[in-house]
Structure formats: C-alpha cells, structure tokens
Amino acid sequence: MDVVGSCCDHLVEKNQLTNSLNELNDKYQKLNKFHLALLKIAQLSAELVDIDTLYQQIHLIIKSLINADNFYIVQFNPDDQHLEFIYMVDQRDLKPLNRIAIEDFGGTLTAHIINSGQPLLATPETFKQMVNDKVIKPCGTIGVDWLGVPLIQDGTTVGVIAVQSYTEQTRYSQQDQELLQFCARHIVASLNNKKNHQQLQEAVELRTAELKEQIRERENSELLQESLLHISELNSKKLSVESFYDQVRNIIGQLLSCSNFYVAKYDRHQQQIEFVYYVDQLLDDTSLIQASTARPASDSLTDYVIKQSKPILLTKEQMLELYLNGHTREPSPH
C-alpha cells in the first residue's frame, strides 16, 4: 500500500508540475505575442505607409491579441473640443463622417472616456447602472460588452480606442482592458510620430514647390530679358514691316502661345485703329482683315483694351460678361 500510495503521490505531483509548466508556457506565449504586437505598433510610424494603412495595421495587431471585429479609433482635439472617428470597423453601426463637438456627443461611452480620462469595461450590468445613474444614455446599437481606453499624450486625452461585442460568445475581461491600455500608449506615440512625419513631408513638398516656382520665375525672367534684347536688336536691322513683326511674333512665341496674334496701332487724334500685322489660325486668307487699313474706333475687345490703357487677360466667361454689361460687342463663338 505504501508503494502504491507513493506512486500515486508521485503521479499527482508530476501532473501538477506538467500543468504548471503548461500554464507557464501559455503565459510565456501570450507575453511574447504581446511584446511582438507592441514592437509592431512602434515600428509602424517608421514604415512608409499612409495614415489609413497605419490605422488598418493597428487594427490587425489589436485583433491578434483580443477579439476586435468591432473596433474604432477616435481622435479628440482639446483646443476646439471636437472629436473625429478617424478609423472604424463595425458589424452594426456606420462610421460618422464629420467632426463632432464633444457637447453634441455627450452621454456616450466615448465621451465619458474623453471626459474622465479613464478606461472602461462596460458589461451589460455596468451599462445598465450607468444609464440609471444618468452618467450615459443609450445610443447607437447596444452590444454585450464595450471596452474603451483613452489615448493620452502629455497628460491630456487626445482620443479613444474601443472594441465592442454584440454576442455572448465574445466577452471582454480585465486582462483585455490592461492589454488595450498598454497598446494605447504605443498607439499614441505611433500616431504622433506619423503625424510629425507627415507634417515634415508636407513642409518639404511645399518648400520644393516654392523652389521650383522660384526657378521657373527666374528662368522666365531670363528668357524675357533675352527676348526683349532680341526685339531691340531687330530695330537695327533693315526689315520690312511684315518681316519685322514676323520675327517679333517668333520671339514672343518662345514665351507664350501666339498662334493667333496681331498688332494694332491706335491714332488718338483720328480715333482710328490700324491692324498692321495679323495672324489667325482660323483664317486662311488674312487679307480679309484688311491689314494696314484704318477703321474707326468701335466696341471690340481691342478698343476695350485701348480705353482701359492697361494689359487685360480675359476668359470666355469674362468676355461674355463684358458683352452682357454693354462694354463690348458679342464675342466670337470660336
């Protein structure tokens, strides 16, 4: 009997030891999984992903730790007291599209987290008690368990991450809350790093665009100076009027499109306009313009420019507006 009893005791001890080892192994596996999840969250901000992909990756990491089929991230701005659902996946409810004033979102579990700065595991019993105490009010689709934790930066709540269950098969525990709290700390850092990276990238892109514009303006200025020099050099050459304006048009063509181009001289004393040069891509025979033939001033766009005595750039809509206001004749349909 002593031998049998001893064997039984030994077997019990062995089973207990095996169970203990299995429990330790399970704890190690969970701890290792958790550490890997935190590492992935920390690495996300350094990866070249857009902000929407970052949210999706955070969701996947959370899902590797707890059930997160229904998950959202809310960003809160303490300065203007507005919140925004920057990411949301839910089996029942739709993602709010606009920013919401916190005062208009009062009575919700999310607003409660923002105002209290404390995590909350709302079981059916907890939820019912909070409603009875008028801490919150029912809104949206009522689930089974709701678990939310604040996103805190420098002691200030800047958002909320939350998961929700709609079935009894998925329930959350205090351990799940602790896991989500640890994740929240790393998520804040990751989101902040990504935001800083985006702001830096936008600043670099803006500065690059400004430099490109400065270079373009400088190149245009140099080209303009060169063009003016070439035009002035034409005066020293013995050219016919037609040849002179042909070359002027070619020089201007290096600065802007001038497929349709004319030069009109205005005689202030005679109140007449003379088209000394005219090129139009819609007219095969430019003689129809009766170049070099003076005509009285009228209500054309050319006359309008002369009256204004300044450069004018007009769109089709602006030309029509001038006509409707009685300043010019009806513009050409071309």
pLDDT in tens, the chain (334 residues): 555 556 556 666 656 656 655 565 556 566 666 677 667 776 766 665 677 888 888 898 888 888 999 999 999 999 999 999 999 999 888 888 889 999 988 889 999 999 999 999 999 999 999 989 888 888 777 789 999 999 998 899 999 999 999 998 889 998 889 888 888 887 887 777 777 777 777 888 888 888 888 888 887 788 888 888 888 888 788 888 888 888 889 888 888 888 889 998 888 888 888 888 888 887 765 544 544 567 787 888 998 999 999 999 999 899 999 889 888 888 876 5
Return the structure tokens found at 225: 């100076």
Task: Quickly list DSSP for 274-319.
Answer: EEEEEE-TT-S-GGGG-TT-EEE--SSHHHHHHHHTS-----HHHH
Task: Quickly list DSSP for 188-257.
Answer: HHHHHHHHHHHHHHHHHHHHHHHHHHHHHHHHHHHHHHHHHHHHHHHTTS---HHHHHHHHHHHHTTTS-
Record the pTM: 0.55
**H-state helical runs in 64-173:** 109-116, 124-132
Contact by Cβ (8 Å): 121, 174: yes
150: closest CA among 180, 192, 173?
180
Return the structure tokens found at 301: 């766009």
Instruction: Say what the pLDDT of residue 224 is.
Output: 82
105: closest CA among 125, 122, 85, 127?
85
Please state the length of the chain. Answer: 334
Return the structure tokens found at 22: 């299995």
Q: Greatest CA span in the chain, whole angstroms?
A: 140
For the chain, which residues make up each domain, given as ranges? 28-200, 258-324
Contact by Cβ (8 Å): 120, 109: yes
Secondary element (H or E) of residue 261 = strand 261-267
Instruction: Say what the pLDDT of residue 288 is.
Output: 47
Fold entry, domain 28-200 = Beta-Lactamase (3.30.450)
Beta-strand relationship, 145-153 and 120-122 = antiparallel
Name the phi and psi angles at 74, rounded to 5.
Answer: -110, 135
